[in-house]
Amino acid sequence: MPPRISDSTIRRLSHYLRALETMVREGAETVSSEDLAERGGTSAAQVRKDLSHFGSFGKRGLGYQAVELEASLRRILGLDARWRVALVGAGRIGSALFEYPNFQARGYDCVAVLDTDSDKVGRRWGDVIIRSADELEHVVAEEHIDLVILAVPPEAAQDLADRAVAAGARGLMNFASVQLRVPREVPVTDVNLVMELEALSFAITQAGTGA
Amino acid sequence: MPPRISDSTIRRLSHYLRALETMVREGAETVSSEDLAERGGTSAAQVRKDLSHFGSFGKRGLGYQAVELEASLRRILGLDARWRVALVGAGRIGSALFEYPNFQARGYDCVAVLDTDSDKVGRRWGDVIIRSADELEHVVAEEHIDLVILAVPPEAAQDLADRAVAAGARGLMNFASVQLRVPREVPVTDVNLVMELEALSFAITQAGTGA
DNA sequence: TCCTGTGAAACGGTTCACAGCC
DNA sequence: GGCTGTGAACCGTTTCACAGGA
């Protein structure tokens, strides 16, 4: 129970997990912090420090048991549970997410899809039928939704977020390019494509100037 | 020419720009660092510090001219140029990106789409015809591509990245969940949905434990 | 007075270097 | 010898607090 784990740390853990999965598939039995660092794009010291926040997983002089560490990382990241997800917004991005193969595979069950567009309501996506966004509170409560994904226009996002949280959502993933205001205890991760593109074009511009 | 601008700074600038656009639309003429902070989810001091890296845009006692600052931010972020983009991977995510309205609107012209799937090659998306990923080098060079978006499976990403860079791409946006190895002068932004989901489920787990 | 611009202090995260165990 | 785990040093970022111009 360390004071606080930084966001960057847990993102790196996610990298390490992915690296481990590959290495296990390739037949590795033990891995070193050096190995993980290489695939995760950091330093060996960083890997060890990251892991040290959660316990001692390796053997000195030997490294880490790949399968064992993989399981530990899964548990740390909360992937030993299954998460009940509601997707709000059945547009392009929503559809891409819904069909995203890793989504199901990693413990995220999209048990509801909602949209404001009455043309879309009632359509069937796989096993679920698209429901009206008006029913959000109802769906979140009834279906015991843990996690709400907002793939909606920016104007609609804050209202939907408020309602999702009020109805019991424990976390939000936000694709709209607005800063959502939510209670401190509800985590939000933002995926903001415009922002990422702008960061990229800035970096390119700089690279041209600075180098 | 400041020593180096941090990634988080430029992501915040992106937020400020979005906030400004909204405020200008709402008729605001001058805005304070406080206003921007509120919409951008930071502190007023942070806003001022961020801007100070690039110059003095405000008037003491008065604030910032909204329209003027908006233009400055655009220039800083490299949005006064148009960027020629090639999209590799005509799957769900690729399609969502291609149709993303903000994409065109913000200066990104997707002038080529490529895919490995021979069934997809030859199909028309809007104005562009999907070409074979084999032609990547050719397309990047011929079309003067600045920016390559990789919306492909992880196994394919590194090879395509290498080829894109060799052919002259100036920056990459990577949707595959692998850490790409590229020359230092080529910026890469990663959009990793799995990682974001894992960060979220970790945060939810923590929120339950810690609070 | 109001609000920006900015050095200086405080904070947090990364890197270093080595002690300790296999 | 090899590699982990970790306190300590280092460094960059955020916050503070105030000087200075409208």
Q: What is the CATH number of the domain that holds A43?
A: 1.10.10.10
Q: Give CA–CA dist A161/A187, Å, rounded.
A: 11
Percent of chain A with pLDDT over 90: 91
| Domain stop point among A18, A53, A76 | A76
Section B107-115 average pLDDT: 96
In the predicted model, is pLDDT for residue A1 greater than 60?
A: no
Per the structure, the complete domain to which residue B43 belongs is given by 7-76
| Domain stop point among A59, A76, A93 | A76
pLDDT of A104? 82
> Confidence band (pLDDT; 50, 70, 90) for A102?
confident
In a domain, residue B117? The reply is yes
Section A11-16 average pLDDT: 97
Question: Which residue is listed with tokens 């415009």?
Answer: A194
In a domain, residue B210? The reply is no
A101 lies in the same domain as A48 = no
Asked if the Cβ of residue A2 lies within 7 A of any atom of strand D, the reply is no
Least CB–CB distance from A39: residue in B77, B179, B198: B179
Cα torsion for B195, A74, A92, A195, to the nearest 10°?
-10
Asked if the Cβ of residue B49 lies within 7 A of any atom of strand D, the reply is yes
In a domain, residue B58? The reply is yes
B26 lies in the same domain as B115 = no
Query: Closest Cα of chain B to A48: distance in Å?
Result: 19
A83–B203 CB contact, under 8 Å: no
A26 lies in the same domain as A98 = no
B61 lies in the same domain as B105 = no
B91 lies in the same domain as B177 = yes
B91 lies in the same domain as B110 = yes
Cα torsion for A24, A29, A33, A36, to the nearest 10°?
-20
Section B47-51 average pLDDT: 98
For A18-72, the pLDDT digits (tens) are 999 999 999 999 999 999 999 999 999 999 999 999 999 999 999 999 999 999 9
> Confidence band (pLDDT; 50, 70, 90) for B165?
very high
- B164 with B172: CB under 8 angstroms? yes
In a domain, residue B146? The reply is yes
A88 lies in the same domain as A183 = yes
pLDDT of B101? 82
For A129-179, the pLDDT digits (tens) are 999 999 999 999 999 999 999 999 999 999 999 999 999 999 999 999 999
Give the B window 70-109 contacts with A, CB below 8 Å. Answer: 76-79, 81, 83, 92-93, 95-97, 99-100, 102-103, 106-108
CA distance to A101, A197, B100, per residue, from B94 (Å) = 15, 15, 10
B92 lies in the same domain as B134 = yes
Question: Which residue is listed with tokens 């390119």?
Answer: A204
B147 lies in the same domain as B174 = yes
Give chain A's domain count: 2
In a domain, residue B203? The reply is no
Q: What is the CATH number of the domain that holds B120?
A: 3.40.50.720
A177 lies in the same domain as A142 = yes
B35 lies in the same domain as B108 = no
- A102 with B194: CB under 8 angstroms? yes
Q: Which residue from A19, A178, A91, A112 is spatially nearest to B195, judged by alpha carbons?
A: A19
In a domain, residue B2? The reply is no
Q: Which residue of A has its CA nearest to B149?
A: A197
pLDDT of A3? 65
> Confidence band (pLDDT; 50, 70, 90) for A210?
low
| Domain stop point among B47, B76, B105 | B76
Give the A window 9-48 contacts with B, CB below 8 Å. Answer: 10-11, 13-15, 17-18, 39-41
Tokens found for residue A97:
């997410």
Beta strands in chain B (DSSP E): 30-31, 58-59, 63-65, 83-88, 108-115, 124-125, 128-129, 131-132, 147-150, 171-174, 188-190
pLDDT of B211? 45
Asked if the Cβ of residue A56 lies within 7 A of any atom of strand C, the reply is no
pLDDT of A136? 98
Query: What is chain B's mean pLDDT, rounded?
Result: 94
In a domain, residue A203? The reply is no
For B173-200, the pLDDT digits (tens) are 999 999 999 999 999 999 999 999 999 9
Cα torsion for B146, B151, B154, B157, to the nearest 10°?
-20
Give per-residue burial for B15-32: e unless 16+ CB within 10 Å, then b.
bbbbbbeebeeeeeebbe
A109 lies in the same domain as A53 = no
Section B30-58 average pLDDT: 97
User: A51: exposed, middle or buried (C-beta count within 10 Å: 0-12, 13-18, 19+)?
Assistant: buried
In a domain, residue A89? The reply is yes
pLDDT of B3? 64
Section B201-205 average pLDDT: 94
